[in-house]
Amino acid sequence: MAQYTTPKRTVIERTPENDDTYRQIRSEIHFEIDIMNARVNWLIASQAFLFVPLTIGTHGPSIAQSVLFPLIPYLGLLLCILVSISVLAAVWRSARTAPMPAPSTACSRSCSLARNSSR
- The half-sphere exposure of 16 on its side-chain side, counting CA atoms within 13 A, is 0
Confidence label for 59 from pLDDT (cuts 50, 70 and 90) = confident
In this predicted structure, what is the pLDDT of residue 110?
42
The answer to whether residue 117 scores a pLDDT higher than 60 is no
Is residue 25 within 8 Å of residue 99, measured between CB atoms? yes
C-alpha span between 60 and 45 (Å, rounded): 26
In this predicted structure, what is the pLDDT of residue 115?
43
In this predicted structure, what is the pLDDT of residue 1?
59
The answer to whether residue 22 scores a pLDDT higher than 60 is yes
In this predicted structure, what is the pLDDT of residue 113?
43
CB count within 10 Å of CB 112 equals 10
